[in-house]
């Protein structure tokens, strides 16, 4: 068991992916501070925001695998397709669900304005804009290139 943990902690691809995620999450705190005027630690547990930590994580993983195993390897192909699916989901499916939640919340607000009604608000920040995904991906590439090489 000790060897397993040591191997994990010495794996440069895992270190790069975790570092990319941590940097992205830290940047989210900084950007939300400038938007909201206070440090919102809830942002660490929420989806969405600049940059996409999901994208940073999986692109760093894929870049690291490409560096170590080569871009013609099967495992690189798998990791690249995995990364593309995650980024598509972040910018496509989850973003659309977030926009639907925003519209539904607005409908509920207007429908029950002035009436005593306790509704559960839907989370609106679920996905990412394409630029948030791209910035997360670029962050992942840069971190992997700096750590894995």
User: 8-59, pLDDT tens digit by residue?
Assistant: 889 999 999 999 999 999 998 998 889 888 888 887 777 778 899 999 999 9
Domain ranges of the chain: 2-147
Q: In whole angstroms, what separates CA 129 from the centre of its chain?
A: 11
Secondary structure (3-state) at 126: coil
What is the pLDDT confidence band of residue 72, given thresholds at 50, 70 and 90? very high
- List of E strands, 97-137: none
pTM above 0.95, yes or no: no
């Amino acid at each position: 068991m000790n060897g397993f943990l040591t191997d994990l902690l010495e794996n440069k691809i895992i270190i790069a992916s975790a570092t990319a995620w941590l940097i992205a999450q830290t940047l989210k705190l900084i950007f939300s501070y400038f938007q909201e005027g206070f440090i919102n630690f809830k942002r660490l547990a929420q989806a969405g925001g600049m940059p996409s930590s999901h994208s940073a994580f999986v692109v760093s993983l894929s870049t690291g695998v490409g560096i170590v195993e080569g871009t013609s390897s099967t495992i690189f192909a798998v990791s690249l397709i995995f990364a593309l699916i995650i980024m598509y989901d972040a910018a496509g499916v989850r973003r659309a669900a977030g926009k639907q939640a925003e519209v539904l919340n607005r409908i509920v607000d207007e429908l029950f304005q002035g009436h005593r009604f306790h509704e559960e608000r839907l989370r609106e920040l679920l996905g990412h804009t394409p630029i948030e995904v791209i910035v997360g991906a670029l962050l992942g590439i840069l971190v992997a290139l700096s750590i894995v090489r």
